[in-house]
């Protein structure tokens, strides 16, 4: 596949991420169509020139003619959709996705997929608390990270197209990981943080606390506004790696708690100096 | 005391917070002097019109003529400073501070203070990760919360002046709390969040993780860059309340962990819906 502005791109699912992909690709002049459940989301996208064509039906002609299909719905729906619709794909179609967990997705889809099409999985590491196309915004990708998770079933050509997609959308870092490494990484960097935010928000129900809050509490709980359906699904799909991350965090936190109880000032200060030094590595590249 | 633009204000300590107070008051036309340790910080402040006068010495004439003294150094230094210098205060001087913990500070200082001066404690809930006057910025106060913690020793007049100070600096919410309630609140809203950030940053030392991070991890660890001397002091001063908050969090987090292990999807979703609803209360007023 030669990826160019004429390439026929089809996005399945105009939610917050699918919508952001559509807007980001269209504003660069790419040829984007979409299939999504609700006509109102298609109307929204058409009015804003996010897509050239949209439909609520799995139209054979549209799917067959699409060269790059980007799947932007829930992972469980993804597998079903492939089973039900893959007979409609044209030969050589490239399929990618935005799925946040790769275990139970990449291998499964690659194992059921027609031999004459290819699926290369990717994860755009930029999200929003809200769901729905009205919250989509292609600027969230600018400067963010984009992970491609190839397997031995993938061709170099497909990996290159998938990376090109990340470049067009403006991601700052485009990296490759195995699906397993991706899931371990995501368990720590993304899922654990969401667990912490939810629990921090839920562990104190004192009335009126919001009158006194500062920005640190707001920052730590921003993602406590969470799409419960999607995140519970992602957590359960990645249970093993997420439990490992949660247990590491509990061990570290309990140890710090005990330092406080025992008045171990120097040990606490050492932990703080460590965290200060390590956090510097995680600054956004643009701020360096 | 009639608080006006002619009121002689003296700031003790031109660090990041003292400097921000100086800049915020001076840009509104108030009359600000400062005493701080380093001449370079005075030069910095004078060059930027943050103060009208500054010295590294506890000058009797300056202290005696000051009507409102704002103490912006570490709490332990605060008590010592009062002991050593209170003979220099003019009659009727009002003293306030920016101290983040009130236990071990407010009562102690009020008990040793001369009878003809008054100390009314306050806490501006806005900080920076960095320390030093070069990071001071009065805009961090705009829209933030400001807590006054009066005791029965305080007069209505002093409380009013202290609140006026918060207004001038641009705080959006100005509230009163007892020192004890303040410390319980701060244990949860500020200290617990800093403990979490430090431990999250320290609980995984995998190399190269920063290549893959998204904004949620960055948000949760922003405050893992921490002034170890100041925060260890604040934690230890507020040990009881902070341990309570840490234990509540551990209990909530462990419970959520077990839901995941047991595959209790509905219970997890319920927790997420709770956190989503409760987090809405904590949005910045301007965003509502």
Q: Label residue A74 by pLDDT band (50, 70, 90).
A: confident
What pLDDT is attached to residue B139? 95
Question: If you count residue pairs, one on A and one on B, with CB atoms under 8 Å apart, how many are there?
Answer: 291
CA distance A265 to chain B (A): 6
Contact at CB, A127 and B193, closer than 8 angstroms: no
Res A36 pLDDT > 90? yes
| Average pLDDT taken over every residue of chain A | 94
What pLDDT is attached to residue A90? 96
Residues in chain A closer than 8 A to B229 (CB atoms): 269
Q: Which residue has the higher pLDDT, B246 or A143?
A: B246
Instruction: Name the residue among A224, A281, A283 with its Cβ closest to that of B279.
Output: A224
CA distance A192 to chain B (A): 9
Chain A, window 182-201: residues with a beta carbon less than 8 angstroms from a chain B beta carbon:
185-186, 188-190, 192-201
Residues in chain A closer than 8 A to B192 (CB atoms): 200
Closest CA to B117 of B77, B63, B175: B63
Residues in chain B closer than 8 A to A104 (CB atoms): none
What pLDDT is attached to residue A181? 94
- SS3 sequence, A110-154? HHHCCCCCEECCEEEECCCCCCCHHHCCHHHHCCCEEEECCCCCC
Contact at CB, A257 and B282, closer than 8 angstroms: no
Contact at CB, B260 and A242, closer than 8 angstroms: yes
Q: Label residue A203 by pLDDT band (50, 70, 90).
A: very high
- pLDDT mean over A56-75: 95
Contact at CB, B279 and A221, closer than 8 angstroms: yes
Q: Label residue A288 by pLDDT band (50, 70, 90).
A: very low
d(CA B254, CA A242): 13
Contact at CB, A248 and B204, closer than 8 angstroms: yes
Mean pLDDT by 10-residue block, N- to C-terminus, for chain B (288 residues)?
Answer: 91 96 98 98 98 97 97 90 96 95 93 97 82 93 93 96 97 94 95 97 92 87 93 95 98 98 98 96 67
Contact B70, B14 (CB under 8 A): no
Q: Say whether residue B248 is in contact with chain A using an 8 A CB cutoff.
A: yes
What predicted TM-score, i.e. pTM, was given to this entire model? Answer: 0.81
Q: What is the DSSP letter of B190?
A: I
Which of these ranges, A6-15, A256-265, B54-63, B215-224, has the smallest mean pLDDT?
Answer: B215-224
Q: Say whether residue A61 is in contact with chain B using an 8 A CB cutoff.
A: no
Nearest C-alpha in A relative to B250 = A250
CB atoms within 10 A of CB B104: 17
Q: Say whether residue B243 is in contact with chain A using an 8 A CB cutoff.
A: yes
Contact at CB, A203 and B271, closer than 8 angstroms: no
Contact at CB, B260 and A235, closer than 8 angstroms: yes
Length, in residues, of chain B: 288
What pLDDT is attached to residue B287? 39
Instruction: Name the residue among B215, B220, B226 with its Cβ closest to that of A220.
Output: B220
Residues in chain B closer than 8 A to A241 (CB atoms): none
Q: Say whether residue B174 is in contact with chain A using an 8 A CB cutoff.
A: no
Q: Say whether residue A87 is in contact with chain B using an 8 A CB cutoff.
A: no
Res A233 pLDDT > 50? yes
CA B82 to chain centroid, in Å, comes to 19
Q: Say whether residue B231 is in contact with chain A using an 8 A CB cutoff.
A: yes
Q: Label residue A212 by pLDDT band (50, 70, 90).
A: confident
CA distance B115 to chain A (A): 31
Contact at CB, A215 and B126, closer than 8 angstroms: yes
CA distance B268 to chain A (A): 7
Chain B, window 267-286: residues with a beta carbon less than 8 angstroms from a chain A beta carbon:
268-276, 278-284
Res A287 pLDDT > 60? no
CA distance A25 to chain B (A): 21
What pLDDT is attached to residue A43? 98
Q: Say whether residue A216 is in contact with chain B using an 8 A CB cutoff.
A: yes
């Amino acid at each position: 596949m030669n990826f160019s502005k004429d390439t026929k791109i089809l996005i399945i699912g105009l939610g917050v991420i699918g919508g952001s992909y559509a807007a980001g690709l269209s504003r660069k002049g790419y040829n984007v169509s979409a299939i999504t459940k609700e006509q109102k989301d298609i109307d929204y996208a058409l009015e804003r020139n996010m897509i050239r064509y949209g439909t609520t039906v799995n139209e054979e002609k549209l799917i067959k003619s699409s060269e790059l299909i980007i799947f932007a719905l829930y992972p469980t729906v993804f597998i079903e959709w492939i089973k039900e619709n893959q007979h409609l794909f044209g030969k050589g179609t490239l399929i990618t996705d935005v799925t946040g967990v790769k275990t139970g997705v990449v291998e499964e889809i690659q194992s059921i997929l027609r031999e004459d099409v290819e699926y290369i999985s990717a994860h755009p590491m930029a999200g929003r608390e809200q769901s729905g196309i009205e919250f989509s915004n292609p600027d969230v990708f600018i400067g963010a990270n984009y992970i491609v998770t190839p397997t031995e079933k993938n061709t170099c050509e497909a990996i290159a197209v998938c990376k090109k997609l990340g470049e067009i959308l403006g991601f700052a870092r485009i990296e490759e990981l195995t699906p397993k490494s991706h899931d371990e990484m995501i368990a720590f960097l993304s899922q654990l943080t969401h667990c912490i935010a939810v629990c921090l928000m839920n562990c104190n129900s004192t009335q009126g606390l919001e009158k006194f809050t500062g920005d640190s509490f707001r920052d730590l709980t921003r993602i406590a506004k969470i799409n419960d359906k999607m995140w519970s699904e992602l957590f359960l799909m990645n249970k093993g790696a997420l439990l490992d991350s949660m247990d590491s965090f509990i061990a570290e936190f309990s140890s710090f708690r005990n330092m406080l109880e025992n008045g171990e000032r120097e040990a606490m200060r050492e932990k703080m100096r460590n965290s200060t030094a390590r956090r510097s590595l995680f600054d956004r590249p643009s701020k360096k």
